[in-house]
Amino acid sequence: MFATRSAMRLHFPLLVCLTAALSSAVVASPINLWTKLILTQQWPKTFCSMEPCLLNVSYWTLHGLWPDKGEFCNSSWHFNSSEIEKKKIMKYEWSKHGTCAAEAASLNSQHKYFSKALELYQKVDLNSMLQKANIIPSDKYYTFSDIEQAMENFYGVKPKIQCVHPSMNSESQALGQIEICFDADFTLQDCEKHFATNTLSRGQWDQNKSSGLSVCSPDIPVYYPPTS
């Protein structure tokens, strides 16, 4: 895929958001060996409705490859911007997540980390997978189970599917982010949800998840917004 390491300049299908990510305080986390990698992809139409974006694209974009433990594990690890496009946001991803992923020998350099993120993004090919399952951006609504079951059937594992949740007067939630998980050997594995969705009623969901991205409700229609 790449001729030589010295000649490589990685180009990422990234959704670049410069507010939330780059304004976060940089506080080093204790280093704990991670056990899971989370490949996170975002749907631009939804995400750019919440944050200012620099890209206008019509495909799922790669947000990052995140270990399940640790953030900002090594503030002294130099970021080599000459190898990477989208330098500003990539520097942040490397500092926050890459320095923790680098506890594994297979990811212990900037080149290895970003190459693996791109490799996994291309391997799962979320855009094609959803199209093959006839889940496409449109004005129609899907059920959460439509999307989750299609992904489980295709990948053989449970993803984490996240939405922008509706206000009290809205009838749908907007599909915004999908996480697909791997173990330390880059084998697909189930992602974990942070709460039991079946314990929440519609009223409780509106009260607690009125804005931002979190796990989609199984009981609310899902809107997969078209880009045009």
Which amino acid is present at 126?
L
Q: What is the DSSP string of 118-182?
A: HHHHHHH-HHHHHHHTT--SSSSEE-HHHHHHHHHHHHSS--EEEEEPP-TT-S-EEEEEEEEEE
Q: Which of 63, 83, 148, 165 is catalytic?
A: 63
What is the enclosing helix (H) or strand (E) of 87? Answer: helix 87-93
| Non-local CB neighbours of 199 within 8 Å, separated by 6+ positions | none
| Non-local CB neighbours of 80 within 8 Å, separated by 6+ positions | 110
Say if residues 193 and 160 touch (Cβ distance below 8 Å).
Answer: yes
Q: Which of 51, 71, 83, 97 is catalytic?
A: 97
Q: Is 93 a known active-site residue? A: yes
| Alpha-carbon gap, residue 19 to 65, rounded angstroms | 19
Nearest Cα to 48, choosing from 15, 24, 23, 22?
Answer: 15
Q: Which of 78, 83, 85, 93 is catalytic?
A: 93
CA atoms 123, 183, 65, 191: torsion sign: positive
Q: Is 165 a known active-site residue? A: no
Q: Is 111 a known active-site residue? A: no
Token pair recorded at residue 220: 């609310």
Catalytic residues, by residue number, are: 63, 93, 97
